[in-house]
Amino acid sequence: MKYKLPKLEYQYDALEPFIDAKTMEIHHSKHHQTYVDKFNVLIEGNKELEGKTPEEIITNIENVDEKIRIAVRNYGGGVVNHNFFFDILKKDTKSVGDILKEIEKEFGSFEEFKKKFSESALSLFGSGWTWLVLNKDKRLEIVNTANHDSPLSYKQIPLLVIDLWEHAYYLKYQNRRAEYIENFFNVINWEKVNECFIAGNKYLGVKQNERK
């Protein structure tokens, strides 16, 4: 049974003008699809891995046979990170709910969070991702990962992510990564991010009203 490329819940042009339709089409139907295909080749016939979701495998990457671990981290990570990235995109939503309160508590204000997240994204060298996660201390943290490393492998819970591979923005923005990062803030699905935060709290056994 092969793992299938998840369908997008929106059209390729849904994020225009901030992320253009052509970029979305190539990103999903070519790049994401390629990671899925290569991941399937890797796990085919592997009794330990076949049947598990890429998310389960990446979360427990240390259990994967060393011979294929790096390849699984790259291609499985590519699947997992894109699954998450495409899922948290939606145009013109507002930061809401518990996640907004927690951002204000952790970073001082939403603007300060945006500044720190953007700086982190700008500082990433080469290809990778900038995340907002719930860390092992159950607190919000901004982290960068290189290539297709996933926070799941570090026991962090992803809440939000920006793809900083050039394939995510080059057609429209070329070398203007700062402009892409600025515009990314127009396509974050804050309701989804809030859902991830609430689910993360539940998983960690934290009640929001117990947060200090």
Contact stretch for Mn ion (CB under 5 A) within 87-95, 102-110, 121-129, 165-173: 165-173
CA distance 212 to 200: 17
Nearest to 151 by CA among 35, 66, 73: 73
Contact status: 149 vs Mn ion (CB under 5 A): no
Using the minimum distance from each CB to Mn ion, give the nearer residue, 24 or 99. 24
Apex 119 CA angle, 100 and 26, nearest 5: 85
**Residue number, 102 or 163, with CB nearest to Mn ion:** 163
Binding segment for Mn ion among 57-65, 121-129, 161-169, 182-190 (CB under 5 A)?
Answer: 161-169
Q: How many CB atoms lie within 10 A of CB 159?
A: 25
CA distances from 97 to 157, 196, 197, 208 (A): 18, 12, 10, 11
Shortest separation between residue 168's beta carbon and Mn ion, angstroms: 5
Span near Mn ion by CB under 5 A; candidates 14-22, 49-57, 107-115, 157-165? 157-165
Distance in Å, CB of 82 to Mn ion, minimum: 6
The distance in angstroms from the start CA to the end CA of the chain is 46
Nearer of residues 89 and 133 to Mn ion, judged by Cβ: 89
CA–CA separation, 89 and 9 (whole Å)? 10
- The residue at minimum Cβ distance from Mn ion is 163
Question: Could you tell me the two tokens for 15?
Answer: 């994020």
Contact region with Mn ion (CB under 5 A), list: 2-10, 145-153, 158-166, 172-180: 158-166
Pairing outcome for strands 128-134 and 157-163: antiparallel
Distance (Å, rounded) from C-alpha 58 to C-alpha 153? 6
Angstrom distance (rounded) from CA 19 to CA 187:
8
Given the rule CB under 5 A, which of 4-12, 119-127, 133-141, 162-170 is the region that contacts Mn ion?
162-170
Q: How far is the CB of 37 from Mn ion (least distance, A)?
A: 15
Cα(24)–Cα(206) distance, integer angstroms: 36
163 is a contact residue toward Mn ion (CB under 5 A): yes
Pick the binder of Mn ion from 39, 75, 84, 165 (CB under 5 A). Answer: 165
Name which of 40 and 127 has its Cβ closer to Mn ion.
127
- Least Å distance between CB 151 and Mn ion? 16
User: By the criterion CB under 5 A, which residues form the site for Mn ion?
Assistant: 163, 165, 168
